[in-house]
Amino acid sequence: MSDRPEHAEDCTAVGPGCPVEATLYGYYPHIVWNAFFVGFFGLCCIINLVLGFSYRTWTYMIALCLGCVAEAAGYYGRVMMHKNPYDDIGFQIQICLLIISPAFVSAGIYLTLKHFTLTFGASWSRLRPARYTYIFITGDIISLVLQGAGGGLAATADNGSSTQDLGTNLMIAGVVFQVFILSVFGYLLAEYTLRTYRRREKLSVAATEILRSTKFRLFGAAVMVAYLSILTRCVYRIPELTGGWGNELMRNEPEFIALEGVMITLAVFMLTLFHPGFCFPVLGAKQAAKYATVNSKEHYAESSVEMLPQRDTAYEPYSHRSV
């Protein structure tokens, strides 16, 4: 905990006896950076809505839009705190939303592994394609609940109270669990990528064309950059929270901007710029039927995976839905 004057709990605005240094963060949140984040995530939400409806990438759209809305609202809370660092509403908004929003963005990343295995073959995947979604989205929800509940408790509890400590511990548990889930995902993605590359000669013509396409490679690079960015952010959050409220790391805004704001900005930027609608259309329902037709014509002559049942091949239609 920071060495805050006892009367600071009664402060409602910066003034005599209530310096900005006595606030939890000890500074005025930077107006330019925080306003930029509000505008950036708001714009990305609109873009993902348009692209999601255009290419029918429904679940991907929902995940990224929820993440963008939460990020924009969270940074708006910090804009409120720039005007008044003692603003309780602004503090509660930013602490609750900025802690949970990356979980929504990571959910969009988790969706890709299922569709990679459906596209290039499930026989050398450690899990059946659908299980990737169930396992990682479930893990994401658990971390989301832990972080959300912890953030809510910590933001509304009295400073130094047992309730605040409980909220902090829940947030830490949620972030640590998110790092664990991200690490498992990274291992499985790397393993499947290596296995696919070693057996690339066995891919169907359609799957080979996708693998060699510049757009798909850009999408793959975007997923990797987004993954590493979110992982970096989560690792940063662990010592920030475990150090106690008002610790030196928590009161360092440049590090917060670089390791929280910029990391999630980079992740959302890459996932939006190289949207699967035009870089990896198999993920979208709009072109699923097209690829299913291509795959069915060459299935028996040149399967994506030798002896792979039709339900596990690259371009199975999902009754005109996408996940």
pLDDT of residue 10: 80
CB atoms closer than 10 angstroms to residue 28 = 16
The residue type of 204 is S
pLDDT of residue 291: 53
C-alpha span between 320 and 298 (Å, rounded):
21
CB contact at 8 A, 271 and 108: yes
Q: Average pLDDT for residues 7-12, to the nearest whole number?
A: 76
Q: What share of the chain is helix, strand, coil (3-state, %, to 5)?
A: 75, 0, 25
Burial code (b: 16+ CB inside 10 Å, e: under 16) for 174-199 equals bbbbbbebbeebeebbeebeebbeee
- Grade residue 156 by pLDDT with cuts at 50, 70 and 90: confident
Across the chain, what does the average pLDDT equal? Answer: 87
Say whether pLDDT at 85 is over 80: yes
CATH 2.40.128 assigned to 12-298: no
User: Which of residues 215 and 10 earns the better pLDDT score?
Assistant: 215
Say whether pLDDT at 311 is over 90: no
pLDDT of residue 200: 87
Q: Average pLDDT for residues 91-101, to the nearest whole number?
A: 95
Answer positive or negative: Cα dihedral of 281, 284, 285, 288: positive
The residue type of 82 is H
SS3 108: helix
- Give pTM, 2 decimals: 0.87
Q: Average pLDDT for residues 294-313, to the nearest whole number?
A: 40
C-alpha span between 19 and 3 (Å, rounded):
13
Say whether pLDDT at 2 is over 90: no
pLDDT of residue 290: 55
- Grade residue 316 by pLDDT with cuts at 50, 70 and 90: very low
Pick from 232-236, 242-246, 287-291 the range whose average pLDDT is largest: 232-236
Q: Which of 44-48, 239-243, 305-309 has the lowest mean pLDDT?
A: 305-309
C-alpha span between 48 and 50 (Å, rounded):
5
Q: Average pLDDT for residues 83-105, to the nearest whole number?
A: 96
Contacts with 166 (C-beta within 8 Å, 6 or more apart), sequence order: 150, 153
- Grade residue 91 by pLDDT with cuts at 50, 70 and 90: very high
Q: Average pLDDT for residues 267-294, to the nearest whole number?
A: 80
Contacts with 227 (C-beta within 8 Å, 6 or more apart), sequence order: 106, 109, 182, 185, 186, 189, 267
Say whether pLDDT at 70 is over 60: yes
Q: Residue 33 to residues 146, 247, 301: CA-CA distances in angstroms?
A: 28, 22, 56
What are the sequence ranges of the domains in the chain?
Answer: 12-298
With 0-12 CB in 10 A as exposed, 13-18 as middle and 19+ as buried, what is 85? buried
Say whether pLDDT at 312 is over 90: no
Q: Average pLDDT for residues 60-69, to the nearest whole number?
A: 98
C-alpha span between 9 and 4 (Å, rounded):
9
CB contact at 8 A, 206 and 315: yes
Say whether pLDDT at 95 is over 90: yes
CB contact at 8 A, 104 and 111: no
Q: Average pLDDT for residues 247-260, to the nearest whole number?
A: 97
CB contact at 8 A, 205 and 298: yes
C-alpha span between 318 and 86 (Å, rounded):
51
Say whether pLDDT at 306 is over 90: no
Q: Average pLDDT for residues 270-283, to the nearest whole number?
A: 94
Say whether pLDDT at 106 is over 50: yes
